[in-house]
């Protein structure tokens, strides 16, 4: 069973702090990893993609991937109240010919002013 | 910035009726997807479409569902004989490669009465 696991939260951090969101996945045959942000009642919005082990930084966001541990994380620096949303981890699992994107249930982040 | 557009934003249908959800993917994208999100639950993959045929489908995507690319811009999801449990948000997404980031439309909220 190919699964993506996330702590549902909520994760509460004060404004200006670093928020750390974690995700584990169950299958080793996976090639790409994504973080999406979803505001209540809205569609998933792509934040970061990461394909190889290590860190990838984009503005206030850093994605970290460790394929050996089947672990991917997202760090949000200088958290803002507008960052309050549900963060979805998604993994592209390779099937017979094409990959399918599997989402975790998401972690709710609350940033307090 | 190019975006995926979906119509209608909200569809209300009587149980047993057929519905067609419409999507216009990003113009230079070749891979198209449908996802479903039942209220309070995770985003679930339904089907992927490439080169005018289904490339992958999930267990959810049974004979009740079909997809079509009727012309060079639209991508549709048809649900026949709708059931109460089909009530959900349906998201269309597109990407420019099988393993590449997928960009989501705003979704269609389907309510079955």
The per-residue pLDDT for range B10-48, each reduced to its tens digit, is: 999 999 999 999 999 999 999 999 999 999 999 999 999
Check: CB of residue B101 under 8 Å from CB of residue A49. Answer: yes
Structure tokens given for B102: 């997928």
Q: Is the pLDDT of residue A97 over 80?
A: no
Q: Which residues of A touch B48 (CB under 8 A)?
A: 98, 100
Nearest-CA distance from B34 to chain A in Å?
11
Question: Is the pLDDT confidence value at B2 over 80?
Answer: no
Taking the CA atoms of A74, A34, A36 and A11 in sequence, report the sign of the dihedral they define: negative
**Contact call for B104 and A95, based on CB within 8 A:** no
Distances (CA, A) of A32 to B5, B59, B98, B103: 25, 22, 10, 15
The pLDDT of residue A2 is above 70: no
Distance between CA atoms of B59 and B67, rounded to whole angstroms?
15
CA distance A36 to A85: 10
The sign of the CA dihedral B13, B62, A98, A48 is: positive
Q: What count of other Cβ atoms lies within 10 Å of the Cβ of residue B38?
A: 13
Hey, how many other C-beta atoms are within 10 angstroms of the C-beta on B86? Answer: 20
> At CB < 8 Å, which residues of chain B contact A?
33, 41-45, 48, 50, 55-56, 58, 89, 91, 98-107
Mean pLDDT of chain B: 95
């Amino acid at each position: 069973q190919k699964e993506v696991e996330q702590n549902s939260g909520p994760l509460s951090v004060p404004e200006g702090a670093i928020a750390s969101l974690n995700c584990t996945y169950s299958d080793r045959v996976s090639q790409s990893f994504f973080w999406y942000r979803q505001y209540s009642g809205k569609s998933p919005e792509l934040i970061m993609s990461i394909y190889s082990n290590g860190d990838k930084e984009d503005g206030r966001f850093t994605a970290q991937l460790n394929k050996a541990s089947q672990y991917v994380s997202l760090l949000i620096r200088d958290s803002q109240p507008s960052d309050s949303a549900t963060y979805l981890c998604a993994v592209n699992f390779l099937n017979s010919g094409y990959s399918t994107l599997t989402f975790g249930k998401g972690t709710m982040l609350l940033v307090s002013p | 910035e190019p975006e995926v557009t979906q119509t209608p934003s909200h569809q209300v249908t009587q149980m047993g009726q057929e519905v067609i959800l419409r999507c216009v993917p990003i113009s230079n994208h070749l891979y198209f997807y449908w996802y479903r999100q039942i209220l309070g639950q995770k985003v679930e993959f339904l089907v992927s479409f490439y080169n005018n045929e289904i490339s992958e489908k999930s267990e959810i995507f049974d004979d009740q569902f079909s997809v079509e690319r009727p012309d060079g811009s639209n991508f549709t999801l048809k649900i026949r004989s709708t059931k109460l449990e089909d009530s959900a948000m349906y998201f269309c997404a597109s990407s420019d490669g099988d393993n590449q980031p997928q960009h989501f439309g705003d979704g269609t909220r389907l309510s079955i009465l």
